[in-house]
Structure 1
Amino acid sequence: MQTPAVRRPRSLTADLVQALGDRVRDGRWPAGSKLPTEGAIMAEFGVSRTVVREAISRLQAANVLETRHGIGTFVLGQGEATTFRIDTATLQDVIGVLELRIGMETEGAALAAMRRTAENLVAMRAALEAIGSAIRDGRDGAGADFQFHLEIARATRNPHFAQLMATLGGSMIPRARLDRTQPATAEREAYLRRVNAEHENILQAIERQDAEGARAAMRTHLANSKERRQRAAAQAVRRG
C-alpha cells in the first residue's frame, strides 16, 4: 500500500525555472545576454534569494545559463530538451529515487574526489554552512541540501551528472517532499544534524581526494536515508 505525501502546489523554484527558461526560448534573452541581478529577479517574481539561486543552478546544469564570478550570469543557449521526469508523490517513489541516487551519486562522489577544484570545495562548504544555518533557524535546509549534492555533481567535471541532478531537482531530497509538515522539535533538529554530519564526512573525503572514502561516505548517507524512508513506509502501512 502506497501512502501519498501531502500534495503541495508546484514549487516556486520550478515555476521560476519555467519562467526564466521561457525568456530564453522566446528570444527575450538571446544567447550571450546578461541576466538581471538576483535582486531584480527577486523583486519581479516575488521570490527569495534561495529560490532564485536554485533556479539559476538548474538552468546552469541544463546548459542554459553560465555564471561568471564577479561579472554576472549569462545565457548560453536553449540547452538540451528532456522528457525525463520523476514524480516523488509517495514514500515508495522517494525510496525508488534514493535507489537511483545510490547508483549515481556514489560514483559521482568518487569522481568529484579525484577531479574537484578549490572553487568546487568553496561551493560545497558554502552549501553545508547554509544547511547548518537553516537547522539553527528551525528550517529543514532542503534547498541547501540539494545545492550541496548538485555541487558534488559539478565537481565530477562531467556535465551529465549535473544535468541529471538538475532534472531530479530539489524534490530528490526526501524531506523536501515528505517532512515539511512536521513541527520543529529537538528530535527533528537532532535528526537534521545527523544528516549534516554525514554530509561533512562526504566533503572531508572529497577534500582529501579520497575517492574510495567519498564513495563509501555517500553510499552510507544515501543508504541511511533509504532505511529511514523504509521504516516510515512500514509504519504507514501498520497505521493504514
Structure 2
Amino acid sequence: MQTIERRRARSLSADVVDELSKRMRIGPLRPGDKLPTEAAIMQEFGVSRTVVREALSKLQAAGMVRPQRGVGTFVVGASRAKPFHVDSSPDDSLAQAIALIELRIGLETEAAALAAQRRDTSDLAAIKSALDAIEAAMDQDMDTALPDYQFHLEIARASHSPHFAAVLEALGPTCVPTAFLKTADGNEEGASEALGDQVRHEHLGIYDAIAQQDVEAARAAMRGHLVNGRERRRASKGPQEPGRS
C-alpha cells in the first residue's frame, strides 16, 4: 500500500507540472507573473503540500520558475531559463535512472570530501537537521525522499563550492530514488525494514566522517552510499529481458 501511495503522489505531481507548464506556454501565466500560493494550488488540484512542492521543484529544475524567499515563485522568461537540465523523473527508464545516479557519484563524492574539509558548525547543524528529518520520516513510515534530498543538498552546500549545490538544485528532489525491494519469499515489508537499516547506517557514516573532518572517509562513505543506491535501483526493477532497459 505504501508503494502504491508513493507512486500515486509522484503521478499527481506530474499532473500539476503538466498543467502549470501548459499555462506558462499558452497563458494565462507570462514571464514575471507570480504563481498561485502553495495553498491555492493544493486547493485547486486537491493534492497535498508535498505534491505541490515536488511539482514546483520540477518546474524550478526545468528553469521555468524562480522562487524568491518570502515573496513567492515567479515564471521565468525564456532568456532566463537555466541551460542545464537533466530529466530526473522517477518514471524514467532504468538506464536513465542509473545514468543519473552515476552523475551523482561523480558530483557528490567530491562534494562530501570538500564538506569534511570546509564545513563549519552551522553547516554541520543543517546536515544533522536533515538527517534527523529522515529518521523521523522513517520512524513514522513516511516518504523520506524530500528530507533525503535535503541531506545531500546540505552536504553540497557545506563544500562551500557553490556549483555543487547548484547542480543538485537543478536536479531537484526527484533525483533521490525510492527503491522497493523484496526478499526471496516476496516479503516486501521485511526487505523495506532491512533496506531502511542499511540506508540509515550509510547516512550516519557520511555524517560522522564530515563531523570528524575526515576527508577520505567522507569521500568513501558517500561513494559507497551512492554505489549501493545504484544497485538498489537495479534490484528494484527486477530481472530485465534481453535488450530491455
Summarize deviations over 1:1-31 as a string: whole Å, max 9, x none. Answer: xxxxx98665538947x969x79973345xx
Shift in Å, 1:208:
1.8
Q: Distance between the aligned counterparts of 1:15 and 1:125, measured in 2?
A: 32
Question: Superposed, which structure 2 residues align to 1:74-223 within 5 Å?
Answer: 80-82=81-83, 84-86=85-87, 87-88=89-90, 89-175=92-178, 179=180, 185-223=189-227
Which one-letter code corresponds to 1:205 in the other structure? Answer: A
Distance 1:55 1:213, change over 3 A: farther
Question: Superposed, which structure 2 residues align to 1:219-230 within 5 Å?
Answer: 219-230=223-234
Which one-letter code corresponds to 2:144 in the other structure? Answer: G
Q: Distance between the aligned counterparts of 2:71 and 2:131, measured in 1?
A: 23
Normalised TM-score (structure 2): 0.68
Distance 1:234 1:40, change over 3 A: closer
Q: Distance between the aligned counterparts of 2:41 and 2:123, measured in 1?
A: 25
RMSD: 4.1
Tell me, what secondary structure is at the counterpart of 1:174?
A: coil
Residue in 1 that maps onto 2:3:
none
Answer yes or no: is the 8 Å Cα contact 2:57–2:173 preserved in 1: no
Identity across the alignment (%): 40
Which one-letter code corresponds to 2:168 in the other structure? Answer: M
Summarize deviations over 1:102-156 as a string: whole Å, max 9, x none. Answer: 1111001111222223222222212211211121222241121111111112222
Distance 1:52 1:10, change over 3 A: closer
Distance 1:49 1:113, change over 3 A: farther
Which one-letter code corresponds to 2:224 in the other structure? Answer: T
Q: Distance between the aligned counterparts of 2:29 and 2:208, measured in 1?
A: 38
Which one-letter code corresponds to 1:27 in the other structure? Answer: G
* Unaligned stretches of 5+ residues in structure 2: 1-5
Shift in Å, 1:93:
2.0
Shift in Å, 1:204:
1.3
Distance 1:56 1:157, change over 3 A: farther
Shift in Å, 1:210:
1.7
Which one-letter code corresponds to 2:233 in the other structure? Answer: R
* Unaligned stretches of 5+ residues in structure 1: 1-5, 30-34
Answer yes or no: is the 8 Å Cα contact 1:154–1:162 preserved in 2: yes
